[in-house]
Amino acid sequence: MANAYQAALNRLADNIASVLLGKREAIRLAIVTLLAEGHLLIEDVPGVGKTLLAKALAKSLNCTFHRVQFTPDLLPSDLIGTSVYHQPSGEFIFKPGPLFANVVLADEINRATPRTQSALLEAMSDRQVSVDGVTHHLEAPFIVMATQNPYEFEGTYALPENQLDRFAVRLKLGYPDRKHEKEVLTQHREGEPVDHLRPVVSKEEVIQMQAAVRHVRVDDSLNEYLMDIVDATRSRDELYLGVSTRGALTLYRCSQALALFQGRDYVIPDDIKTLAVPVLSHRVVSRGFRQNGRADSASVIIERILAETRVPV
């Protein structure tokens, strides 16, 4: 089963990698998020390719795509849509907003106010929006890819914990190495390469692969291993807030997706270990315990938990 989809997934990864140079691991995480029916948060300083990754993934899929630039004056109705009075019929007609697309790029999400950010919650969690008491369902597949600058940058608002918990994966790109950055200079000499990308995977293929993910086998010993990691986050002195049940389920589903991406129909411990930091680190809150004169980040604490948790044989 898994091998049948590997060619399409490799084609998708190669297409994105042709414009986002030297970031194979970030591309893999983005595709895993799509397969797991989750949402992706790309966090880093400006200018390192956050928007490029989101645009390249969207353009590689033969799906509808909308980009929304988040600003302080963006209103919830600018995202969801609004009811407009239609004079000939004497009725209000719903006009969908840009959230009605298969792939939604929420660019610089933390520059909008918390009220506008929260307008995404129902869509991300339930694949639907409610306007004037009427529920409107979003077409599958549906993924929100949000970019954000670090919180200390001027004009940003921190995302609340309940919204962070809706993002399956958070990743950071970092600066490219010298070799790939030099290639970027040459590649952009005559324009933006991402503008010339063509779709390589259809909407129907995406839906089929998302359904296949749910049939990837997970041994009970791996369920216990995953729960040992999650439980450790809830009893750790360094952590004020541990991983939620939604976070545990997301790690489970993303591990299935990573197995499918790698051509397997079963999960192995390395799938869980590989995804623990990008899936769990944004769901926990550190108390700021200090070691060696500095406060440990959530990612460091998750890595320490992984090192201390017994791996099933």
Residues whose CB is less than 8 angstroms from the CB of residue 207 and which lie 6 or more positions away in sequence, other chains included: 140, 141
State which H helix or E strand residue 85 sits in. strand 81-86
Give the pLDDT score at 30: 95
Q: State the Cα–Cα distance between residues 87 and 99, nearest whole angstrom.
A: 26
Q: What is the pTM of this model?
A: 0.90
The per-residue pLDDT for range 258-274, each reduced to its tens digit, is: 999 999 999 999 999 99
φ, ψ for residue 36, nearest 5 deg: -85, 5
**For 18-150, where are the alpha helices, taking DSSP H only?**
24-35, 50-60, 76-80, 114-118, 121-126
Decide the pairing of beta strands 239-241 and 81-86.
unpaired
Residue 98 has pLDDT above 90, yes or no: yes
pLDDT in tens, 159-173: 878 888 999 999 888
Q: Is the pLDDT of residue 122 over 80?
A: yes
Instruction: Label residue 151 left, alpha or beta by phi (over 0 means left) and psi (-120 to 50 means alpha).
Output: alpha
Q: Report which of 41, 121, 132, 117 is spatially closest to residue 76, judged by C-alpha positions.
A: 117
Residue 133: both structure tokens together: 């008491």
Q: Which domains does the chain have, with CATH numbers?
A: 2-209 (3.40.50.300), 216-308 (1.10.8.80)
31-74 tens-digit pLDDT:
999 999 999 999 877 777 788 888 888 889 988 889 999 988 99
First-to-last C-alpha distance (Å) of the chain: 25
6 burial (CB, 10 Å; 0-12 / 13-18 / 19+) is: middle
pLDDT band (50, 70, 90) for residue 293: very low
Q: Give the residue carrying structure tokens 């194979």.
A: 24
- For residue 34, which phi and psi values (nearest 5 degrees)? -60, -45
